[in-house]
Amino acid sequence: MYQFFMDESQVNGSEIKIEGTDVNHIKNVLRMKVGEEIMLSNGTDKHFICSITELSDTFIRTKIVDIDSNSTELPVKLYLFQGLPKADKMELIIQKAVELGVYEIIPVAMKRSVVKLDAKKEKNKRLRWQQIAESAAKQSKRMVIPQIHPCMSFQEAVAYGKTLDYNIVPYEFAGGMKTSKEVVKGLKQYRSVGIYIGPEGGFEESEIQLAKESGMQVITLGKRILRTETAGLTTLSIIMFELEQD
């Protein structure tokens, strides 16, 4: 069943009216017909199962058939602080991170980041990245669309992390798998967790030192060196499996 996002203001009794760009997609791309069902999510806690009752060039009218309040979200909000990677790697990272349950993605310009974004370039990139996040949220039946935050410096990212309950930093020179496993198992007790991933060149020692001084937990993901696009998704996969509820 195809999924789209809507606002509670669109609900009128037992009907939901769809407007905007989704109209063209539903009518002309998917070629859906009256009587077919779609899922409309309110961006927080409900999936509305709806039957299409009217199609026009400017709106689509639907009738609510059922409401599903079984959350597809993780019980802990995960914030991915991703060191800016080269080329189009960020697009892949965003798509897969959304599928894995991330709540927010924060691009971070670190000392070894090769990519430099000026204001105009960042605006265009963020627009593209947000579209990818929305598409991935629809595909994976998320109840929320994860937000792509404006790019931060590492110092700003560390300051933002202090507003969260707990923060972890996977680092290639860290050791102690036993500690890493204990840290992951203990994440259930928090409401928000930050995950800091270095760029292609990895973290500089001064960044790791700042993270430690700020109370972040440095962990290892194993004996192999992972690429930046692999490290974050590996961490999210491990945490998702640990946090997932029946």
- Comma-separated ranges of CATH 3.40.1280.10 domains in the chain: 77-243
Give the model's pLDDT for residue 14.
Answer: 92
Say whether 59 sits in a helix, a strand or coil.
strand
Question: Which pLDDT score is estimated for 245?
Answer: 78
Question: What is the arithmetic mean of pLDDT over 180-189?
Answer: 95
pLDDT at 177 over 90: yes
Question: What SS3 class is residue 34?
Answer: coil
| For residue 168, pLDDT beyond 90 | yes
Q: Rounded to an integer, what distance in angstroms lies between the CA atom of residue 100 and that of residue 78?
A: 10
Whether the predicted pLDDT of 71 surpasses 80: no
77-243, what's its fold? Alpha/beta knot (3.40.1280)
Mean pLDDT across 64-77? 87
The residues, ordered by sequence, that sit 6+ positions from 77 with a Cβ below 8 Å of its Cβ are: 103, 104, 191, 192, 193
Half-sphere exposure of 117 (CA within 13 A, CB side): 23
Per-residue confidence (pLDDT) for residue 52, from 0 to 100:
95
Q: Return the CATH class of domain 3-68.
A: mainly beta
The average confidence (pLDDT) of the chain is: 93
Please tell me what DSSP assigns to residue 93: H
Residues 6+ apart with CB under 8 A from 193: 76, 77, 78, 79, 164, 165, 166, 167, 168, 187, 239
Q: What mean pLDDT comes out for the span 238-242?
A: 96
DSSP-derived secondary structure for 175-205: --HHHHHHHHHGGGG-SEEEEEE--TT---H
In this predicted structure, the answer to whether residue 72 has a pLDDT above a threshold of 90 is: no
pLDDT at site 1: 85
What is the secondary structure of 162-175 as a DSSP string? TTSSEEEEE-TT--
Can you say how many angstroms the Cα of residue 68 is from the centroid of all Cα atoms in its chain? 22
Going by pLDDT thresholds of 50, 70 and 90, the confidence category of residue 87 is: confident
136 contacts: CB under 8 Å, gap ≥ 6: 94, 95, 96, 98, 99, 142
Q: Looking at the chain, which residues constitute the CATH 2.40.240.20 domain(s)?
A: 3-68
Beta-bridge mates of residue 68: 47
117-164 pLDDT tens trace: 887 888 899 999 999 999 999 999 999 999 999 999 999 999 999 999
Statement: residue 116 has pLDDT above 90: no
pTM: 0.87
